A and B are shown apart, each in its own frame.
Chain A
Amino acid sequence: MTIFLQASFEGLALGAVYSLVAIGLVLIYKAMDVLSFAQPALAVVGAGIISALAVDRGINFWLAFIVALIATGIIGALSERIFLRPMVGEPVFSVAILTLGLDVLYRTILDNWIGVNPRYMGDPIFSWGEFGSINAGGVILKFQELGALMTAVLSVIFLGYFFKVSKYGLAMRATSFDQETSLAQGINVGRIFGLVWFIAGILAAFAGFFITGGFNLLTQASFISAFRALPAVVIGGLDSIPGAIVGSIIIGLTQGYVAYYQFPFESFTGINLGNGFSLLAPYLIMFVILIVKPDGLFGTEEVERV
């Protein structure tokens, strides 16, 4: 039972991390019909900025953290302005490939900076509690995972409030409904695009920190974790924020359970699934769900005019 709870908790925390990236992806998709493959790379760029400021420059970690969040948001907004704005109205496929190009750019620069050795985040989390975790009745709760869960919940609440109440939230909803009509109503659609990428960048940077912080370090392979937000989005449906959250939780829990139950399963059945099968399970789940429901669990079905 303890193992089950532990697996569930870790899975939920992973789901929270994925949901941060996934919500950004869905926001971008809803606002401008672009699937951004660059989001996972933005997440690790955020982590890289934190590490550069907090470890290399020796700035206070929390200050570095906030600066990095905003900087990543700005990088996102700038990329949108420079690279994606000229592509408005182009086929969805071309724009998606363009974001793959962005992903290569970000990661090449970042990989060059990271080098061979892993980078520390310089966060004080491991010094809290017993090695950065508390023991709740046999279940070990890491502060980093608690933080990820809290951040995800708070972001969802904040974004929900933002969309409902604020002027810009309303403008965003209008833009996602129909770009041309909202332009005619006096909404600055370009600014909305920038804002969406800014928010998505901040969320990605949060996710980047939770992926690489604590005992996990920033390496050239860190982005692969952030990439698993993509199956989460696909499972939930590309244009649904609740879908993104549910998808992330499904992916996170799958990964958690597989990580804990793979060994018992293997020794019980004698089938060897290989190292790190838990990292693969999300993609297998994605296949199954997509074959059954091509638009995801919560996505609106695409209606085509002939």
Chain B
Amino acid sequence: MRGRPNLYTDYRKETAILNTTTQKVWAFIGLILLIISSFFFSQYWMYLVTTALLTAVAAWGLNIVSGFAGQISLAHGAFIGIGTYVSAVLGGVGSSYIRGYELDMMIWLPLAGIVPAIIGLIISPLAVRLKGLNLGLVTLGLVFIASYIFSNWNSVTGGSGIGRKTAKLKIFGIDFNDGFHAGSYHIEKDQFIFFLSLILFIFAGIGVKNLMRSKIGRAYAAIRDRDIAAEAIGINLYRFKASAFALSSFYAGVAGSLIFVMSGGVDPTQFNLVYSVTFIAIVIIGGAGTVLGPLFGAAFFSLIPGVIKYFLHLVGSTADQIPLHPTQIERLVFGLLLIGFLIFEPRGLWGIWFRLRNYFKAWPFSY
């Protein structure tokens, strides 16, 4: 079958994770490039790329519940917050008024996913009872409840405006906070977090892809397309909506446990409404209901600050000379993009990529 990559003789091959040679090659090249370039990144870009990887994991989580299963969740940021604080309490340093147990990462990383997943399961009856806009509004309420708890539970979060330190990196008893010596080579802490995130990212990606091509993923799609019809063909709405919420929260929590580790501290006011909206925007800008979409969206969103900074540097102006703060430019660009994509390209960056790809695939024919 060489030279005919689109001919499948087997259903297994067609539903493989990377089902064409081109995809395999590009995934491999991308991975190698990412690993090699990580040795040349400045600290700032290292931070941005790591954030992009972890944001993609969180965005995949939202994509499971909103993109695949079609249930609106505005509370994704809150679940990320829960994951962050579970990891910070279990793996962080305690003091007289803040709790912290300095446990091994092998303990806090899974728990940072499991605890939000359980909370997701607890609130999932709401999702079964409600649908559409009302569900969106209820999850909006969850954001406010979560940010209230975060800013009042001082022994866990440090209180609003003060914050606390995030989890320490200790794996199998080896402390990675000051980097790591492998023979004569020294790996910085940031680079270590980057590799950790990359591994997490790859596993999360394979997880989403597997979910989407399995029975569960097809059930989610059926619920999204028409819940009554899905129920009629024997899909247990309660079970699948609940599992979608739990899985999405699991992804959010795992991503959240690492996302603030590089910057070292986290403030409870971080997890506000805008933070949750950010993830919805990432999924929509990227392309809801696809595996690659949230990855595009996350990369796009996380790297914007670096690009804006780079351009400001090119023009030679400093932050004082322009009327808007860089973060505000980001938010403006972001709001406009969210609106623009919804109006002009509802399938997001993935849709653009899809059309480009098909154009070149079919070239010189139009289809």
Contact = CB atoms under 8 A, between A and B. Distances in A.
Genuine A/B complex: yes
B126 A112 contact: no
Contact of B336 (A105, A276, A287, A306): A105
B70 to A, nearest CB: 8
Interface string A276-306: 1101100110110011001110000000101
A94 B346 contact: yes
A306 to B, nearest CB: 5
B343 interface: yes
Contact of B343 (A83, A284, A290): A83
Contacts of A87: 342-343
Contacts of B141: 231, 283, 286-287
Contact of B136 (A96, A227, A287): A96
Interface of A is mostly: helix
B152 A275 contact: yes
A231 B145 CA distance: 13
B328 A111 contact: yes
A105 B138 contact: no
Given A94-B346, A112-B325, A291-B126, A104 B338 contact: yes
B335 A280 contact: no
Given A101-B342, A102-B335, A104-B331, A93 B148 contact: no
Contact of B339 (A83, A280, A284): A83
A234 B134 contact: yes
B260 interface: no
A98 interface: yes
A178 B345 CA distance: 28
A108 B339 contact: no
Contacts of B280: 97, 100
Interface residues of B, number: 43
A109 to B, nearest CB: 7
Contacts of B274: 104
B140 A306 contact: no
Given A111-B328, A279-B148, A100 B343 contact: no
B130 interface: yes
A92 to B, nearest CB: 6
A238 B133 contact: yes
Contacts of B281: 97, 100-101
A230 B140 contact: yes
B125 to A, nearest CB: 8
A294 B137 CA distance: 12
Contacts of B273: 227
Nearest to A79: B339
B328 A93 contact: no
Contacts of A90: 342, 346
A274 interface: yes
B342 A98 contact: yes
Interface string B8-45: 00000000000000000000000000000000000000
A234 B331 contact: no
A204 interface: no
A77 interface: no
Contacts of B232: 306
A231 to B, nearest CB: 6
Report which residue of A105, A108, A291 has the largest number of chain B beta carbons within 10 angstroms of its beta carbon: A108
B334 interface: yes
A97 B284 contact: yes
Contact of A290 (B130, B149, B336): B130
B152 A290 contact: no
B304 interface: no
Given A92-B132, A101-B281, A291-B126, A108 B228 contact: no
Interface in A202-239: 224, 227, 230-231, 233-234, 238
Nearest to A98: B342
B137 A234 contact: yes
B82 interface: no
A98 B133 contact: no
Contacts of A287: 126, 138, 141
B277 interface: yes
Contacts of B153: 274
B72 interface: yes
A83 B332 CA distance: 15
B324 interface: yes
Interface of A: 35, 83, 86-87, 90, 92-98, 100-105, 108-109, 111-112, 224, 227, 230-231, 233-234, 238, 274-277, 279-280, 283-284, 286-287, 290-291, 294-296, 304, 306
Given A105-B339, A280-B145, A304-B228, 15 more contacts: A96-B72, A96-B136, A97-B280, A101-B338, A104-B338, A105-B332, A105-B336, A109-B332, A112-B324, A227-B273, A230-B137, A280-B144, A283-B141, A291-B129, A294-B130
